[in-house]
Amino acid sequence: MSLNKVLLIGFVGRDPDVRYFDSGSAVANFPLATSERGYTLANGTTVPERTEWHNIVVRREQVPFVERWVKKGSGVFVEGKLRTRNYDDASGTKHYITEVHADRIEFFSIGSGTSSGTGQQPAQTQNTAASGTAQQPFAAAPGFQQPAAPQTGTQAGGDNSFDDLPF
pLDDT digits over 109-135, tens only?
Answer: 766 544 443 433 333 333 333 333 333
Per residue in 33-78, pLDDT (tens digit) is 999 999 999 999 999 999 999 999 999 999 999 999 999 999 999 9
Q: Which of the four pLDDT bands, split at 50, 70 and 90, describes residue 108?
A: confident
Q: Are 108 and 69 in contact, with CB atoms under 8 Å apart?
A: no
Percentage, residues of the chain above pLDDT 70: 65
Look up the CATH number of domain 6-36+47-107: 2.40.50.140
Domain range summary for the chain, segments of one domain joined by +:
6-36+47-107
DSSP letter at 64 equals H
Q: Which of the four pLDDT bands, split at 50, 70 and 90, describes residue 165?
A: low
**Cα distances (angstroms) measured from residue 45 to each of 35, 37, 39, 49, 98:** 19, 14, 9, 13, 32
CA 121 to CA 17: how far, in whole Å? Answer: 21
**Which pLDDT score, from 0 to 100, does residue 100 have?**
97
Q: Are 143 and 105 in contact, with CB atoms under 8 Å apart?
A: yes
**Which pLDDT score, from 0 to 100, does residue 111 have?**
61
